[in-house]
Chain A
């Protein structure tokens, strides 16, 4: 069903008429120009990419939710519950990613650059993030691992609950970890006196995009984990 939905969306995009130059000049959406800007000036086009990604993520989640709600009877049922510790760590991750994402995106979209209190809170959030991030990886990696690592009681005759994570949740978990490592590493390396200005500017660009991926992966992970708690997926 999920694959079918993705195919429908792809077909819809292909069917949309390519914007003409006139349309673009008249204020229309010029995809080619956007892509060109992104390739040539990734840093300058970040604000546009944020907007596009957030909207895209929201639309995907919304559409998927509609499909999931319509087909919830076919779901696997309520997944295994999380321990209090897992919930606490996860809340920490969500909170820190929310702070980091809000301070970053608001600064870029509204103010153009990050400074003063927004920069201060972004750094405070970063400090908390590096701690909860490692805990989250240690706590949830097992549940997101291959099926052979899933805990099951062979001696019991009772039916076991579905895994904690669906396939998509596992996928978003690993994407989240990768994006988180990239986001943190780019800034931590920049704090060492080893890179010149040009390299640091590239690190900033990488940090921005990996941070955006981190936020999107977190949103997707949260959404799919929630669907799992509902038993729809």
Chain B
């Protein structure tokens, strides 16, 4: 019996072992597969996984992937895509946040919170048009206003990091001979959806050089580059674009713009080369590897390199490598760092406050002074999806990044707690006590509203930024240089909270008012004209040479009767430089009327030419007299983007001096004024008060401020009152105890 049991047990064990092995084999197969897949992906690019910087003595490769011989007669420029791409996953990196604005693939181009737009500024037509390919409400997609990638790159080359619009769209497959391509003809693209002020992005429109989004989320094929045999059907600019891409080459993601630790690397040279249309040569020149002779912008559209070289005439730019940059093996040393320095970020992300002594008396961000660098918070994975560090941010990799926001780092977040990480204090961030500050403030106001940017003043201050004003490029930066940007404007917006909900929170913003010539349809939707097109049409009418704001008043030639009508007989002969503000506005408006009349000649039926500036829209009221009227239109509303820097120290934060700093009549946070700035002189600019942006009612504010006058008295009376009541309680407690003790004594007796 015992033997039987023992035998049965041994049998069971053997069966169990066999089953276990079989299960492990079956279950392990996918594991083995996934492990091998992961290993294969990792093997494609070697890594050191060391914190030590890798020393980059590397071979240079051209755009074709061929090794560059610096001694060759006319060597090609090096290509970051092919050179850096030998060891780094360039394909993934090229879809990172800095490069993916024109990316049609939704998962990698999550645009998140609206940010600073590219502002197309033209001082001759008084244009300042906020552009963004990300579809942020209040901006215009470049394609919707006839700006193709080529124009975009040339305009903003000074602060483009390469990739994105710098990579030409793929050419459409050639159609059968004699026929135009099927589907949408690559003419001037349809205008974008009407600009809205909603937090949700506007519906994407068809971009010239981009992709139109078809129903169901699928992408239509790009159509910008066209086959030669349909050139006749295409407007000239599109034909020019495709040809010139062939001359300039593509603008690769310029890795060294951020990752170079070499102080001789010049972003200015990079911008110069791109401005000369030397896209493929820009990286080589900026890194100081070679001398570049020649400019692509001097070559004609039909330039044929082979024919021209044979004829001995103009050629593509010539590259002469500096031999001292190469070692005996033909390798170059790139002083590359994993984490970019603040200097690299400042090239594109400098905000310059204006005002007296602002240049030298302005302090750096308190985090920088504490030893942090930009990338300590604004970090990214290999895919270069840079964390923007605002609350509620969703990272494309689904990584938890809430601890990189102000609140997450200093106060902690639920995400961190649930992940087992400490609540707060990342990178040694101090935890603020906010003693005496009612917690309601922390719910209804962002950290940045009290701690970031300049403190609210009686009037919102002007500022300049790298992207908008081209800072970093040497030049003369007048304080009135357009576009006019003001900060801070405290606005209440719906934002996502850390727990996935929504709340209305006050944030500080920078604000710009669009200005452009456009056409309005019957429904009141305004479509901007292509700025170059507007410039061509209005050049002789406006006669602006240097600056729209000044020339439109002082350089324009008006007839005597026109001056008398506008200024009156007594002032008709006064010099333009001596006009009052109202007179300047009147003359400017009159000249704008002339421009509108010019545009009306070919505007079409049911389309009214308009000019937008300073928060107002202008149109011709009376065709016979040319009288111009201003009216409200959504297109004139300002565009705002949140500001996060420079963070002021705690003792410079709002409210540090007490409640009355904000809760009193006349406090700038509520009653500061925001006046529109536009190219068109305006004697009565649109002016709003801060509390309107923050959604407060003036009656409630006034009542609240008045009530605060009695706050100190209330505290005194309150403490005295509860002191009296506490004494009464104590007295009767003692009396009660005495009564109990007395009663017990009597009972014993």
Binds A, one of B183-191, B225-233, B677-685, B709-717: B709-717
Which one of A123, A147, A181, A194 contacts B722 once the chains associate, using CB atoms below 8 Å?
Answer: A181
Measured in the bound complex, the distance between the Cα atoms of B433 and A21 in whole Å is 42
- Given that A123-B707, A193-B435, A193-B436 are known contacts, is A145 also in contact with B722, CB under 8 Å in the complex? no
Measured in the bound complex, the distance between the Cα atoms of B596 and A225 in whole Å is 81
User: What is the 8 Å Cβ interface bit string for chain A, positions 33-76, against chain B (1 contact, 0 not)?
Assistant: 00000000000000000000000000000000000000000000
User: What is the 8 Å Cβ interface bit string for chain A, positions 125-152, against chain B (1 contact, 0 not)?
Assistant: 0110011011001100100111111000
Report the minimum CB–CB distance from B711 to chain A (whole Å).
Answer: 8
Measured in the bound complex, the distance between the Cα atoms of B729 and A144 in whole Å is 11
Q: A204's closest neighbor in chain B, by CB?
A: B439
Which one of A117, A133, A138, A188 contacts B700 once the chains associate, using CB atoms below 8 Å?
Answer: A117
Q: A117's closest neighbor in chain B, by CB?
A: B700
Which one of A138, A148, A188 contacts B739 once the chains associate, using CB atoms below 8 Å?
Answer: A148
Measured in the bound complex, the distance between the Cα atoms of B722 and A137 in whole Å is 10
Measured in the bound complex, the distance between the Cα atoms of B435 and A133 in whole Å is 28
Q: Which residues of A contact B736 (CB under 8 A)?
A: 145-146
Contact: A197 with B700, CB < 8 Å? Answer: no
Q: Which residues of A contact B720 (CB under 8 A)?
A: 134
Contact: B735 with A138, CB < 8 Å? Answer: no
The reply to whether the CB of A124 lies closer than 8 angstroms to some CB of chain B is yes
Which one of B704, B707, B722 contacts A188 once the chains associate, using CB atoms below 8 Å?
Answer: B722
The reply to whether the CB of B311 lies closer than 8 angstroms to some CB of chain A is no
Which one of B434, B718, B725, B742 contacts A197 once the chains associate, using CB atoms below 8 Å?
Answer: B434
The reply to whether the CB of A167 lies closer than 8 angstroms to some CB of chain B is no
The reply to whether the CB of B36 lies closer than 8 angstroms to some CB of chain A is no
Q: Which residues of A contact B411 (CB under 8 A)?
A: 197
Which one of A126, A127, A192 contacts B436 once the chains associate, using CB atoms below 8 Å?
Answer: A192
Measured in the bound complex, the distance between the Cα atoms of B441 and A190 in whole Å is 14
Q: Which residues of B contact A174 (CB under 8 A)?
A: 729, 732
Measured in the bound complex, the distance between the Cα atoms of B728 and A117 in whole Å is 34
The reply to whether the CB of A184 lies closer than 8 angstroms to some CB of chain B is yes
The reply to whether the CB of B38 lies closer than 8 angstroms to some CB of chain A is no
Which one of B432, B718, B742 contacts A184 once the chains associate, using CB atoms below 8 Å?
Answer: B718
The reply to whether the CB of B5 lies closer than 8 angstroms to some CB of chain A is no
Measured in the bound complex, the distance between the Cα atoms of B726 and A184 in whole Å is 11
Contact: B435 with A180, CB < 8 Å? Answer: no
- Given that A123-B707, A185-B722, A197-B434 are known contacts, is A178 also in contact with B729, CB under 8 Å in the complex? yes
Contact: B704 with A120, CB < 8 Å? Answer: yes
User: What is the 8 Å Cβ interface bit string for chain B, positions 666-702, against chain A (1 contact, 0 not)?
Assistant: 0000000000000000000000000000000100100
The reply to whether the CB of A94 lies closer than 8 angstroms to some CB of chain B is no
Contact: B735 with A149, CB < 8 Å? Answer: yes
Contact: A181 with B725, CB < 8 Å? Answer: yes
Chain A: number of interface residues, binned into ranges: 35 or more
Contact: B735 with A145, CB < 8 Å? Answer: yes
- 432-459 of chain B: CB within 8 A of chain A: 432-440, 442-443
User: What is the 8 Å Cβ interface bit string for chain B, positions 725-749, against chain A (1 contact, 0 not)?
Assistant: 1101101100110010010000000
Measured in the bound complex, the distance between the Cα atoms of B436 and A24 in whole Å is 41
Measured in the bound complex, the distance between the Cα atoms of B516 and A80 in whole Å is 83
The reply to whether the CB of B719 lies closer than 8 angstroms to some CB of chain A is yes
Contact: B436 with A188, CB < 8 Å? Answer: no
- 332-381 of chain B: CB within 8 A of chain A: none
- Given that A145-B732, A146-B735 are known contacts, is A133 also in contact with B439, CB under 8 Å in the complex? no
Report the minimum CB–CB distance from B670 to chain A (whole Å).
Answer: 14
The reply to whether the CB of B721 lies closer than 8 angstroms to some CB of chain A is yes
The reply to whether the CB of B20 lies closer than 8 angstroms to some CB of chain A is no
Contact: B714 with A116, CB < 8 Å? Answer: no
Report the minimum CB–CB distance from A137 to chain B (whole Å).
Answer: 5
- Given that A130-B721, A180-B725, A194-B436 are known contacts, is A120 also in contact with B715, CB under 8 Å in the complex? no
The reply to whether the CB of B703 lies closer than 8 angstroms to some CB of chain A is yes
- Given that A192-B436, A196-B433 are known contacts, is A124 also in contact with B707, CB under 8 Å in the complex? yes
The reply to whether the CB of A86 lies closer than 8 angstroms to some CB of chain B is no
Report the minimum CB–CB distance from B380 to chain A (whole Å).
Answer: 31
Q: Which residues of A contact B735 (CB under 8 A)?
A: 145-146, 149
Q: Which residues of A contact B199 (CB under 8 A)?
A: none
The reply to whether the CB of B724 lies closer than 8 angstroms to some CB of chain A is yes
The reply to whether the CB of A110 lies closer than 8 angstroms to some CB of chain B is no
Report the minimum CB–CB distance from B561 to chain A (whole Å).
Answer: 57
Q: A146's closest neighbor in chain B, by CB?
A: B739
Q: Which residues of B contact A108 (CB under 8 A)?
A: none
- Given that A130-B721, A137-B728 are known contacts, is A120 also in contact with B714, CB under 8 Å in the complex? no
- Given that A197-B442, A204-B439 are known contacts, is A181 also in contact with B729, CB under 8 Å in the complex? yes
Q: Which residues of B contact A201 (CB under 8 A)?
A: 439
Q: B711's closest neighbor in chain A, by CB?
A: A191
Which one of B710, B715, B717, B725 contacts A137 once the chains associate, using CB atoms below 8 Å?
Answer: B725
- Given that A145-B732, A148-B739, A188-B722 are known contacts, is A130 also in contact with B435, CB under 8 Å in the complex? no
Q: Which residues of A contact B711 (CB under 8 A)?
A: 191
Contact: B436 with A177, CB < 8 Å? Answer: no
Contact: A184 with B729, CB < 8 Å? Answer: no
Contact: A177 with B725, CB < 8 Å? Answer: yes
The reply to whether the CB of A200 lies closer than 8 angstroms to some CB of chain B is yes
Contact: A137 with B700, CB < 8 Å? Answer: no
Measured in the bound complex, the distance between the Cα atoms of B651 and A222 in whole Å is 50
Q: Which residues of B contact A131 (CB under 8 A)?
A: 717, 721
Q: B431's closest neighbor in chain A, by CB?
A: A196
Contact: A120 with B703, CB < 8 Å? Answer: yes
Q: Which residues of B contact A197 (CB under 8 A)?
A: 411, 432-434, 437, 439, 442
Contact: A194 with B435, CB < 8 Å? Answer: yes
Measured in the bound complex, the distance between the Cα atoms of B715 and A179 in whole Å is 19
- Given that A133-B725, A181-B725 are known contacts, is A195 also in contact with B435, CB under 8 Å in the complex? yes
Q: Which residues of B contact A146 (CB under 8 A)?
A: 732, 735-736, 739
Contact: B721 with A195, CB < 8 Å? Answer: no
Closest 9 CB pairs of A and B: A193-B436, A196-B433, A134-B721, A146-B739, A130-B721, A137-B725, A134-B724, A130-B718, A137-B728
A-B contact pairs, 14 of them (CB 8 A): A120-B703, A120-B707, A130-B714, A133-B721, A134-B724, A145-B735, A177-B728, A185-B722, A188-B715, A188-B718, A192-B715, A197-B432, A197-B442, A200-B439
Instruction: Taking A117-B703, A180-B725, A181-B722 as given, write out 7 further A-B residue pairs in contact, using a Cβ cutoff of 8 Å, ordered by the A residue number.
Output: A123-B707, A130-B714, A134-B720, A190-B436, A194-B436, A197-B437, A200-B438
